Amino acid sequence: MKQDPAYHPQAYSDGYRQGRQSAERGENYKPRTAGGEFAHGFEDGYYGREFTGQKHIVADRYRPYTTTDCGWY
């Protein structure tokens, strides 16, 4: 599982929301250091672009499983 803050299932939408808020407050644009989907969303939100959504799907949790399918290869 990636622990990068820029890659999680809602990274784009979180970045988009924060970008919109930053623009509404009149703050100067400053690229996000997290990068990835978060930075992409932040930039789109800041500049008022259309919400395009997450490009890369990231699993939100790891789900281990067991199997009884065994064999010789």
pLDDT at 11: 86
Q: 13-65 pLDDT, tens per residue?
A: 999 999 999 999 999 999 888 788 889 999 999 999 999 988 876 666 666 66
Greater model confidence, 1 or 11: 11
Does 1 have pLDDT greater than 60? no
* Amino acid 60: pLDDT: 60
Helices (H), 1-73: 11-24, 36-46
In a domain, 70, yes or no: no
Instruction: Provide the number of structural domains found in the chain.
Output: 1
- CA 39: distance to chain centroid? 8
Q: CB within 8 A of 22, min separation 6: which ones?
A: 29, 42, 45, 46
Task: Give pLDDT, residue 24.
Answer: 96
The answer to whether residues 26 and 53 touch, using CB atoms and an 8 Å cutoff, is no
R_g (Cα) of the chain, nearest Å: 18
Asked, for residue 73, whether it belongs to a domain, the answer is: no
Report yes or no on 69 lying in a domain.
Answer: no
